[in-house]
Amino acid sequence: MPESNPETHVIDFRAAEQLLAARDPRGAVKLLDSVIAAHPENTAARLLRARAFFASAQLRPAELEFELVLEREPDNAFAHYALARTFERAGRPEAAMRHFRLAAALDPKPEYLKAARFDAGD
């Protein structure tokens, strides 16, 4: 087996991005597992793996990864939004709304504001 090195991890990360874009989230997760094993502190790799878990309907692993990202980057609006989508898909609307609203408060992108339903009088 070839020895692991930083260049290999960068290549694997980029390949995982391409796999996710090509709708192969499980392939992306496989590549990212080795990257994260070597660099557990790499938030970008964890966020990409969370997205891949979500895309492959592995909601609990996605939730755990998004939460880990948010522990490290509590002001990451995208991670809040993606975690909210994960909760929404898992049938947990109250948890979802909390994170939709945090995402919208951190970054008033139209899709975040719409999801947060600030104009609905809630």
> Tens of pLDDT along 72-112?
999 999 999 999 999 999 999 999 999 999 999 999 999 99
pLDDT at position 1 is: 40
From the centroid of its chain, how far is CA 87? 12
Q: Which two tokens stand for residue 58?
A: 């592995």
Does residue 32 surpass a pLDDT of 90? yes
Nearest to 85 by CA among 71, 72, 95: 95
**Confidence category of residue 5, pLDDT binned at 50, 70, 90:** confident
CB 106 within 8 A of CB 75: yes
> Confidence band (pLDDT; 50, 70, 90) for 122?
very low
Return d(Cα 12, Cα 91) in angstroms, integer. 33
Q: What gap in Å lies between CA 19 and CA 28, rounded to an integer?
A: 5
CB of 32 within 8 A of CB of 40? no
The residue type found at 23 is R
Token reading at 117: 């339903």
Q: Is the pLDDT of residue 53 over 70?
A: yes
Average pLDDT for 11-30: 98
Task: Enter the tokens of residue 77.
Answer: 């609006």
Q: For 2-9, what is the mean pLDDT?
A: 74
Instruction: Answer whether 76's CB lies under 8 Å from 107's CB.
Output: no
When the pLDDT of each residue in the chain is averaged and rounded to a whole number, the result is 94
Say which range, 35-39, 109-113, 114-118, has the weakest mean pLDDT.
114-118
